[in-house]
Amino acid sequence: MKSIAIMGASGHCKVVAEIALENGYDNIVFVDLNPTIDMLGEYPVADEDTDLENFINEKYDFIVGIGDAKIRRKVQEKLLSKGANVVTLIHPAAAIAYDVSIGTGTVIMAGAVVNPGTKIGDGCIINTCASVDHDNTIGDYVHISVGSHTAGTVAMGDNCWLGIGAVVSNNLSICADCTIGAGAVVVKNIIKPGTYIGVPARKID
């Protein structure tokens, strides 16, 4: 039996579970803090406070299915500090170039494309049908949302969130802790953390 515990119990976790299934896991459990449900789809939801240590002792693999970057980082770091085996999950229908490096705890969804020369950090989400082109440097706990795209030689700092359908033009840097709104188009370097929306993207806070 191949067992995995998915931290969280949201809709995003169901997509992560699908990728786990595609990777041969046949025993899947969600683990949430103070869960309000017993089952999510076909799989049980366990209580982090009472059950986490058991799953670690029973040598489950782990992945964090939480969208918020800061919470995702906190939970992944907690797991690693307890000696849990945090894995990287890639859907078989993602196209990842031969020399791409991918950090611990990163999840790559179906239809995503990651092109040569790109480095992706720890705890990232490269979501459904997103593309990350050649020679990108993507920091830790970055979320490239569904259908968003980065062109060649883009750098994104830790904890950034590129919203659904957003685009980053080539040779640009985005500093850590930026949210790029749905549908935004980034055409200049971003050097201040904050939220950016629109075409071209502009800072709103």
Ligand X SMILES: CC(C)(COP(=O)(O)OP(=O)(O)OC[C@H]1O[C@@H](n2cnc3c(N)ncnc32)[C@H](O)[C@@H]1OP(=O)(O)O)[C@@H](O)C(=O)NCCC(=O)NCCS
182 makes contact with ligand X (CB under 6 A): yes
Spatial separation of the C-alpha atoms in residues 186 and 195, rounded to whole Å:
12
Q: Are strands 113-114 and 131-132 parallel, antiparallel or unpaired?
A: parallel
Instruction: Name the strand (E) or helix (H) holding 83.
Output: none
183 makes contact with ligand X (CB under 6 A): yes
Interface region with ligand X, contact rule CB under 6 A, candidates 18-26, 106-114, 131-139, 176-184:
176-184
Name the residue nearer to ligand X (CB basis): 102 or 201.
Answer: 201
Both tokens of 12, joined, read 């995003």
Q: Lay out the site mask for ligand X across 45-64 (x = CB under 6 A, - = otherwise).
A: --------------------
Of the residues 97, 151, 164, 185, which one makes contact with ligand X according to CB under 6 A: 164
Determine the residue with CB nearest ligand X: 181
Q: Is 143 a catalytic residue?
A: no
Instruction: Output the CA angle 75-81-86, nearest 5 degrees.
Output: 60
Instruction: Output the CA angle 103-176-137, nearest 5 degrees.
Output: 45
Of the residues 10, 104, 169, 195, which one makes contact with ligand X according to CB under 6 A: 195
Spatial separation of the C-alpha atoms in residues 10 and 145, rounded to whole Å:
16
Interface region with ligand X, contact rule CB under 6 A, candidates 50-58, 92-100, 104-112, 196-204:
196-204
Q: Which of 12, 134, 143, 149 is catalytic?
A: 134
Instruction: Name the strand (E) or helix (H) holding 113.
Output: strand 113-114
Q: How many CA atoms lie within 13 A of 20 on its CB side?
A: 29
Residues recognised as catalytic: 134
User: Which residues of this chain interact with ligand X, rule CB under 6 A?
Assistant: 127, 145-146, 163-164, 179, 181-184, 195, 197-198, 204
